Amino acid sequence: MKKRPQFLRVAGKGRKVATPGMVVQILPDDKAAETRVGFTVTKKVGNSVIRNRTRRRLREALRLVAREDGLPSGDFVLIGRDKTRGRDFSLLKDDLRQALRKGLDSNFRENPGRSRDRAK
């Protein structure tokens, strides 16, 4: 994914799972012919060299996890955190697996303490 509206669609309609190494936004779509992935790292993480290194680590972790475990169809956004850069790579892959498993679980609730259907 490259365009801002695509990222906003996943952020608005998808599920968000935070792990120590990253945040993953997931919008599963069984009817989609392909899996689309986007990567983003904010300027709070560091300068462009650090942000690009963080993005490369996320990209490689996703490549390896997708090859080992497979990746369902849909849209995914991986958001790099400050800890992504220094986190052990095997732990980063485990964070990604955990986020995918949790985000694709049909019983997952983002905010268990708050209801989306508020009385008006």
Give the CATH number, domain containing residue 47: 3.30.230.10
- Taking alpha carbons only, the member of 89, 58, 79 closest to residue 16 is 79
Average pLDDT for 33-39: 91
Q: Is residue 110 part of a domain?
A: no
- What pLDDT is stored for residue 110 in this prediction? 57
Q: Is residue 8 part of a domain?
A: yes
- pLDDT level of residue 32 (50, 70, 90 thresholds): confident
Q: 106 versus 7: which is more confidently predicted?
A: 7
- What pLDDT is stored for residue 42 in this prediction? 95
Whole-prediction pTM value?
Answer: 0.84
Number of domains within the chain: 1
Distance (Å) of CA 75 to CA 12, 23, 44, 86, 108 = 12, 14, 25, 26, 17
What single-letter amino acid sits at 56? R
Domain span holding position 37: 4-104
Q: Is residue 24 part of a domain?
A: yes
The yes-or-no verdict on residue 49 having pLDDT over 80 is: yes
Q: Is residue 80 part of a domain?
A: yes
Longest dimension (CA), the chain: 48
In tens, the pLDDT along 50-106 reads 999 999 999 999 999 999 988 888 999 999 999 999 999 999 999 999 999 998 887
Sign of the C-alpha dihedral computed for residues 39, 100, 46 and 50 taken in this order: negative
